[in-house]
Amino acid sequence: MNPYALPFLMSFVPLILLGLAIILQNPRNRLYQIVCAFCIGNALVAGAGGMLHLAATREQAIFWNRLPYLLNCFTYWLFLQYTLIISGGEPRMSERFMFLPIRLHYWLTIGVLALVFALVGFSDLVVAAPTHNPITGWEHGYGPVHRPVILANIYLLALLLFILHRGIKTSTDPILRRARIISMAAIGLAQSWVIVAGLILPDFFGVPTHSFAAIAWLVLCFLLIYGLMRQQWETIHEFSANLEEKVAMRTEELAQAKNNLEQVQAQISKYLDPNVVEKIFSGEFSAELTSRRARLTMFFSDIKDFTQFTDASDPEEVARLLNEYLGEMARIVRHWGGTIPQFTGDSVYAIFGAPDSRGAREDALNAVRMAIEMQSHMSLVRGKWWNEGIQFPFQIRCGIHSGMANVGNYGSEGFMEFSAIGLNVNLASRLEQICQPGQIYISHATWALVKDEIPCEDVGAIEVKGFHYPIQVYQVELSQ
């Protein structure tokens, strides 16, 4: 084996592998495609150079003699494309190098490469017939234009380094800037070695070192790929870090939004029943004027002769006591799962079975138990107010009825409330109006649902407006 062929042949396979490695990373990326082609092109140049040294006959040497130079015209064009893209592309074209726009230098370089390709392929002006050296094997012959080609290589290297330098200077992205610095160092060192070892020493001094240029190609391709891979890794790392930061910020924003939403929900719950508000925020309710038929248990209560108290009392005192009373009653309603469509003065209207129902029997039991607790709690409130100097005998009346009603949103498109209406609602209101102070009246329909657990006393049948038959009424027995 000719030792002068070894650097070429040893570089061939690694260059092929480097090309495949980079293209598999991102086959659609233009820069990755160029570096892949550059690696494979240099691999072919190295292979052709190695085969020249290993040629057994003159005919074989002539076949391999020009091929490295022809392939180099292609790799140098790729070199130029890579440098322009990695340095920023179009913005570099308008800058000046040696008093001329880089765009003009670009086309001048393309023209020179095309001219060199033609001269190498069709004349002996650049590469002459090969000569045999008993130590190194077959070597390139050099024509009269070979030395101007060396100057063209130096000019191209200076152009590439200038473009990269401008790319580094104008870069605001530290990751991209590092990639350009790596490219500039790789191209500057490797290509300088190629020019010296592969062109100047063999031509000017007859030193057979051009085979060692393959080492520079291998190092160059490795560094270019390293620069791209490092840029990709740093971009991913930065993206990951930014993503974590953005996720943290977004999580904080969502937590704040959730907190704001909870505060809004808490505020709205003071105007609307919490059961209704929860349905609105969960998306189960929409602001539409709709209703449905449902089996409900309806409750009404008011304070006996409260109008007389308001006429004889200061408005501020009335407001204070009324707010305290309604607050306590609302708390009890919510404890038992009822929904309050509205307060009207001292009157409390609550429904069980909407928006959610626990079953007709459970709804009725909860409504009656709620009323019992209200009456019990009212005695405590009455005692408290007595100690505060209020001697008015506050007593509440409660009426409860179970039956079908229309429940849903009522009002207008601009303002609506969740409520239940119908003849059975009116019956519950009538029972409250005829109820004795401090007592609870329930209809026969409600009694049938609660009689097994709540003792009641038959009051008798009463005539109710809107009903064509007497309504059987029961009084809930309250423990003393």
**432: which DSSP letter?**
H
pLDDT tens readout for residues 10-33: 888 888 898 898 888 888 889 889
* 64 has a pLDDT exceeding 80: yes
pLDDT of residue 102: 92
Greatest CA separation found in the chain? 135
Looking at per-residue pLDDT, the higher value among 258 and 318 belongs to 318
Tell me the HSE value of 111 on the side-chain side, using a 13 A CA sphere.
6
pLDDT tens readout for residues 277-301: 566 655 556 666 677 899 999 999 9
| % the chain with pLDDT above 70 | 93
**468: which DSSP letter?**
S
Q: Which residue segments constitute the domains of the chain, with CATH numbers given? A: 3-244 (1.20.1070.10), 288-476 (3.30.70.1230)
pTM above 0.75, yes or no: no
3-state secondary structure 44-82: HHHHHHHHHHHCCCHHHHHHHHCHHHHHHHHHHHHHHHH
- Contacts of residue 70, Cβ cutoff 8 Å, sequence gap at least 6: 117, 120, 121
Show the tokens assigned to 164.
């990269």
Tell me the HSE value of 129 on the side-chain side, using a 13 A CA sphere.
3
Contact 472, 427 (CB under 8 A): no
- Contacts of residue 278, Cβ cutoff 8 Å, sequence gap at least 6: 265
